[in-house]
Amino acid sequence: MNDALMYFLKVNVAIALFYLFFRLAFYNDTFWKTRRFYLIFSILLSLVYPFISLTDWLEKQEPMQAIVVSYAQLQEMTITPQPVSKLTAENVLLAIYALVSAILLIKMLVQLASILKWKWKGEKQELQGIEIISVKESITPFSFFNMIFINPALHNEHDTTQILTHELTHARQMHSIDVIVSELITIACWVNPAAWLLKREIRQNLEFLADNSVLESGFDSKKYQYHLLELSYQTPDVKLGNKFNVSPLKKRITMMNQQKTSKAGILKYSLIVPLALALILSSNAQTIVNSAKKAVTATKNAVTGTKSIVANETNVVADTKNESQKPLLALVQDVKQTDNSKVYTVVEKMPQFPGGDVELIKFISNNLRYPETSFFNRVQGKVTLRFTVSEAGKVGSIEVIRSLDAACDKEALRVIKALPDFIPGEQNNKKVAVWYTLPITFKIDDSPIDNSKVYTVVEKMPQFPGGDQELVRHIAKNLYYPAEAAKTGTQGKVIVQFVVSETGKVGNITILRTIPENKKKLDEVVVVGYGSTANVKPQSPETNMTLLAQEAARVVSTLPDFIPGEQNSKKVAVYYTLPITFKLN
């Protein structure tokens, strides 16, 4: 899972847990200052706890290592390549989410602009270090940081004194910080109902604090409550401010009349410590499992489909002597063995491929080739291998623990044997040998294309990424000479036709013609095409051109997505013809 998405999920889960904990434990007490700390602390901890690392300590605990090993060994995943397209469901949802967040942010900025406008237009006075701004508009009294906004003409002297006492509490205790934090968290996590509920609790608690300050100043509670009711008909003007008559009034009046909670009840707020620790430990445990899973299945998407299978960068003559033709036993015996009694399964610092997992995936993709027989027999599935990475980083003791077929097993073993040295694993700051498990999936893409909607010529023809030179380079890199054809000296040209779909995918591969060298008459080859593979049925059995045609069809099936063709500024499916020449040195 994407790291940013994982972080977002962790934050939202924490916010929901903190809110539920608040409702269960603290909702009806009168420790308003402590509640204020809890509510803001819960948001801040939700944002930072995914970054708090205890992995160094956790990895050394034997129970945690056992859990990690058990979990990591169960992980196997195959990712089938998808069409390259920006208009995916994920991108659409992300765009909608960003749009709503942007609207909420703009709304907040507009409210901030309104406050600044009133500040510039109003008459300013100072009271106890707080700026009092008198405005002529009919507004509900409110405060924002060290400013109080009020229309004196709307209130008598007694009411104005109550209002200023209330709003001075907001200003002195910097309640606007809480308001801004709650607004920002709902903008970022608007899809989470707990974020909105937490924001409501923050705003209400600030009013409880200010109301309590008014009553402690000696004002009559009944008259103060009636004053709030008189102003309750007014609608809030700016939601960023701390309103004098912020609703719901019923809850505020209940809190004013409620008996004070026993001081011993404040001890329950200490429960936030185990809750915070539980979140941090769960986050770190997931990090350890992910680390182990990466080590065990570092290339879970290394080979998932013919478009990920890329041949060695060797010429066609050399490929007839390729190491993959060795017997399976010989490949295993070529590898230096390791004393398995000294090999760890999980260590504090797992072995790492030079450059990380991305480079390991790239190496596998650039060296693994779909075996010809397996490809045309449509053999698909997973080969799982296990090997050791020694104290010096050497790969050894390679074994197949889950087989597919002889050809795929042999090819997977060949590529693992070719892996360069790893950065070795460490335990207690000492380099040690470690087991490494690697699943490799062979999968053929069978996406059909409707030939009735395929163009032959369009305004903008399909283009291989990087141009024709890159296309030629890809063919040369992936093509190898069939051994039987090389033995009989068969040479010639194979003309391949395929379809580049609206998304750029290659499919419906057909062999149009084979042209044997030094033969004037062209042998026609009929191909039944489906998906991205082809069955070849030659009309001229006296030649070995069938083998060349099969290899041409196979290598075309490995082509990555093209830049699709266009007709009338619309992406369309187009036929593409490609000649491939086989020539022996």
For 55, half-sphere exposure in the C-beta direction (CA atoms, 13 angstrom radius) is 18
Residue 435 β-bridge partners: 388
Q: Is the dihedral of CA 290, 293, 297, 298 positive or negative?
A: positive
What are the residue ranges spanned by the domains of the chain?
1-75+265-291, 109-261, 297-442, 451-582
What pLDDT digit, counting tens, does each position of 459-512 carry?
899 999 988 888 888 888 888 788 778 888 888 888 999 999 988 888 888 888
Closest to 440 in 3D by CA, of 482, 395, 386? 386
Residue 513 β-bridge partners: 495, 524
The pLDDT, as a whole number, for residue 571 is 92
What pLDDT digit, counting tens, does each position of 294-303 carry?
444 433 333 3
The percent of residues in the chain predicted with pLDDT above 70, rounded, is 73
pLDDT level of residue 46 (50, 70, 90 thresholds): very high
Coil/strand/helix, residue 85: coil
pLDDT level of residue 365 (50, 70, 90 thresholds): confident
Mean per-residue pLDDT, 567-572: 90
Strands 430-442, 425-427: parallel, antiparallel or unpaired by DSSP? antiparallel
- What does the alpha-carbon distance between residue 88 and residue 85 come to, in Å, rounded to a whole number? 6
Does the pLDDT at position 235 exceed 60?
A: no
Q: Which amino acid is at 285?
A: A
The pLDDT, as a whole number, for residue 462 is 92
pLDDT level of residue 82 (50, 70, 90 thresholds): very low
pLDDT, greater one: 257 or 418? 418
The percent of residues in the chain predicted with pLDDT above 90, rounded, is 22
Q: What is the DSSP string of 185-221?
A: HHHHTTT-HHHHHHHHHHHHHHHHHHHHHHHHTT--H
The pLDDT, as a whole number, for residue 60 is 54
Closest to 402 in 3D by CA, of 346, 347, 442, 363? 442
List C-alpha distances in Å: 533 to 80, 301, 450, 456, 549: 16, 21, 16, 21, 12
> Is 344:427 a contact under the CB 8 Å cutoff?
yes
The pLDDT, as a whole number, for residue 181 is 93
Mean per-residue pLDDT, 22-41: 87
Does the pLDDT at position 322 exceed 90?
A: no
What pLDDT digit, counting tens, does each position of 49-63 carry?
888 876 656 555 555
The pLDDT, as a whole number, for residue 432 is 92
Does the pLDDT at position 552 exceed 70?
A: yes
Does the pLDDT at position 155 exceed 50?
A: yes
Least confident of 28-42, 418-432, 518-532: 518-532
- Output the CA torsion 557→561→562→564 (10° steps): 110
Mean per-residue pLDDT, 338-350: 75
Does the pLDDT at position 324 exceed 70?
A: no
Class in CATH terms, 297-442: alpha beta
pLDDT, greater one: 347 or 194? 194
Does the pLDDT at position 234 exceed 70?
A: no
What pLDDT digit, counting tens, does each position of 161-188 carry?
888 888 888 888 899 999 999 999 999 9
Q: Mean pLDDT score of the chain, rounded to an integer?
A: 76
pLDDT, greater one: 333 or 566? 566
- What does the alpha-carbon distance between residue 75 and residue 384 come to, in Å, rounded to a whole number? 12
Closest to 12 in 3D by CA, of 177, 198, 176? 198
The pLDDT, as a whole number, for residue 268 is 80
List C-alpha distances in Å: 240 to 107, 175, 202, 203, 559: 10, 11, 13, 10, 56
pTM score over 0.75: no
For the ranges 27-36, 232-241, 569-578, the maximum mean pLDDT occurs at 569-578
